[in-house]
Amino acid sequence: MIDVKLNGCKSFVDDSTMNLYLDKVEKAFDTLMGGKGAGSDYLGWLDLPSRTLDSDIVAQCDRIVQRWSKNIDVVVVIGIGGSYLGAKSFIEAVSHTFDVQLRNYRPQIVYAGHNMTEIYLADLLDFIKQKSVAAVVVSKSGTTTEPAVAFRLIRNHIEGRYGKEEARNRIVAITDSSKGALKSMSDKEGYTTLVIPDNVGGRYSVFTSAGLLPIALAGHDMKDFLEGARAMERKCKVWDRNNPAVQYAAVRNALYMSGRKIEVLSNFNPRLVMFGEWWKQLFGESEGKDGKGLFPVTMTFTTDLHSLGQYMQQGERIMFETVLSIRQSNRTIVLATEQENLDGLNYLSGKTIGECNKKAELATIQAHVEGGVPCAVIEINNITEYNLGALYYFFEFACALSAYTLGVNPFDQPGVELYKRNMFTLLGKPGFVNNK
């Protein structure tokens, strides 16, 4: 399902160092599975795939999909960080690249609340003006400013156009079971409300309705996604030094302690750009604290081989690379032979573009390893709902293990709160006083 290949790390991490880190990860594994570590109130994600498959969440999401299937053109998914990245990254990975231009969809999913940019929101309001609109607002805390501001705008738009009663049919809130402004507003206004469980943090919430409802609305198979995750859940939870999450957590800690401060997650498929954004949040927020942590960066090749590839090859040797590799392409295009061969490409005749991309991947790994960049490879067979489900769970599990190995709490994000407090003070939010 998922293979972690560490050949490209062998000349940088010798066997005894790897064994030392596998021992450390074993302790982290016991801490995680025993619920004994920092942040252990937030371990609800550990069995989310199996728990969700056995619950009525899939049916709840299906009912909303049915309700909106006939009359809604556009769903605005409002959220920031873990409250939108899982859904958006999955939808982009499995959707046709030109879905929007091909008008393949119904409804179309667009996003808001992940920035506070006036021009973006004004453009969005222009876009939805002539469309039949619904909204899914996602906020675990129910108090985050960016989605709250966007929701006020979209709610006013929906209520203004359709009236308060119809707005109730067109708004779904996904939030905490009891706390926060979004929960109290939803109760008062009578919005359909789905819950992000108390013990699941934002960046671990892709298998809650925060991820599942937008995925289902975009027409993708929630069950396959959850089945893939459940298979991975079962695999990850059994201690084994060859467990892929264990291997990955061990090697990245070994490389970090040997002076590599940056991890580049590279892929060779532009549909995975947003997946990289999800991964950055997961690892950046989980590990970057207490003056520690790998800095997570993403690159999409071959595109970035013509920009940051130069730095990767010959710049400071402060990074290692994790290649997110897709064994098989879902589409096939074969290059034809041309009699005149004016472009000199006949040496590629009969090859698929996917084969050429694979050779680019192998060539890149070889060049980077030779250039002093350790390369780990994480491989899935192809991009399907099932395999992606496994991949998201794999990274969540590996991240928790890795953070405990590093000695930090994987489940808090105290740094994120600091800018929020300053912004509230500057904006004059009641209760936030300027002490300067």
Active centre residues (catalytic): 285, 306, 420
Which residues have C-beta within 8 Å of that of residue 43, sequence separation ≥ 6? Answer: 32, 35, 199, 411
Q: Which two tokens stand for residue 264?
A: 């580049």
Tokens 């400071």 found at: 316
What is the largest distance, in Å, between two alpha-carbon atoms of the chain?
76
Query: Which of 8, 44, 49, 202 forms a contact with ligand PA5 (CB under 6 A)?
Result: 202
Q: What are phi and psi of 47, to 5 degrees?
A: -115, 25
- In angstroms, give the least distance from the CB of 230 to ligand PA5: 22
Query: How many other β-carbons are positioned within 10 Å of the β-carbon of residue 426?
Result: 10
Which of 125, 112, 106, 121 shows the shortest CA–CA distance to 83? 112
Q: Residue 203: what residue type?
A: R
The minimum distance between CB 375 and ligand PA5, in angstroms, equals 28
Q: Which of the stretches 24-32, 161-169, 197-205, 366-374 binds ligand PA5 when contact is defined by CB under 6 A? A: 197-205
Kindly report the length of the chain.
Answer: 436
Say whether 325 sits in a helix, a strand or coil: strand
CA dist 187 to 61, 86, 190, 212, Å? 19, 26, 5, 22
d(CA 133, CA 72): 6
CB-CB contact of 305 with 364 (8 Å): yes
When CB distances to ligand PA5 are compared, the closest residue is 202
Query: By CB under 6 A, which span of 62-70, 80-88, 227-235, 257-265 interacts with ligand PA5?
Result: 80-88
Residue type, 48: L
Rounded to 5 degrees, φ, ψ at 320 are -130, 170
Of 13 and 229, CB closest to ligand PA5: 229
Whichever of 208 and 325 has its CB closer to ligand PA5, that residue is: 208
Residue 197 Cβ vs ligand PA5, minimum distance, rounded to whole Å: 13
* Residue 289, phi then psi, degrees to nearest 5: -160, 170
The nearest distance, CB 142 to ligand PA5, in angstroms, is 7
- In the bound state with ligand PA5, the residue whose beta carbon lies nearer, of 211 and 309, is 211
From the list 74-82, 119-127, 183-191, 390-398, the region that binds ligand PA5 by CB under 6 A is 74-82
DSSP conformational letter for 238: S
Q: Does 284 bind ligand PA5 (CB under 6 A)?
A: no
Q: Minimum distance from CB of 96 to ligand PA5 (Å)?
A: 28
Among candidate residues 141, 261, 272, the one with its CA nearest the CA of residue 201? 141
At its nearest, how many Å lie between ligand PA5 and the CB of residue 141?
Answer: 3
Residue of 88, 114, 203, 230 interacting with ligand PA5 (CB under 6 A): 203
**Range in contact with ligand PA5 (rule: CB under 6 A) among 76-84, 187-195, 263-271, 327-335:** 76-84
Closest CA to 4 of 327, 230, 268, 248: 248
Paired tokens of 66: 């049915």
Q: Which residues, other chains included, contact 292 with Cβ-Cβ below 8 Å and sequence gap of 6+?
A: 406, 407, 408
Size of the site for ligand PA5 (CB under 6 A): 15
Comparison of 182 and 377: residue with beta carbon closer to ligand PA5: 182
Please tell me the number of Cα atoms within 13 Å of 428 on its side-chain side.
0
211 near ligand PA5 (CB under 6 A): no
**Interaction of residue 214 with ligand PA5, rule CB under 6 A:** no
Count of CB atoms within 10 A of residue 222's CB?
24
Per CB under 6 A, contacts with ligand PA5 among 353-382 are none
* Least Å from the CB of residue 436 to ligand PA5: 25
Looking at residues 100 to 159 of the shown chain, list those that interact with ligand PA5 (rule: CB under 6 A).
139-141, 144, 147
Closest CB to ligand PA5 among residues 243, 286: 286
Cis status, amide bond into 147, omega within 30 of 0: no
By CB under 6 A, residue 193 contacts ligand PA5: no
263 vs 285 by CB, closer to ligand PA5: 285
Minimum separation from the CB atom of position 351 to ligand PA5 (A): 43
CA 241 – CA 159 distance, rounded (Å) = 56
Helix 222-236 to helix 57-69 angle, to the nearest 10 degrees?
A: 160
User: Is residue 389 involved in binding ligand PA5 (CB under 6 A)?
Assistant: no
* Cβ distance to ligand PA5 smaller for residue 147 or 293: 147
Task: Give me the least distance between CB of 143 and ligand PA5, in Å please.
Answer: 7
Residue 39 · residue 409 · CB < 8 Å: yes
**Nearer Cβ to ligand PA5 (201/228):** 201
Any contact of residue 186 with ligand PA5 (CB under 6 A)? no
82 is an interface residue for ligand PA5 by CB under 6 A: yes
Q: Which is nearer to ligand PA5, 247 or 413 (CB)?
A: 413
Give contact residues for ligand PA5 (rule: CB under 6 A): 80-83, 139-141, 144, 147, 201-203, 285, 413, 416
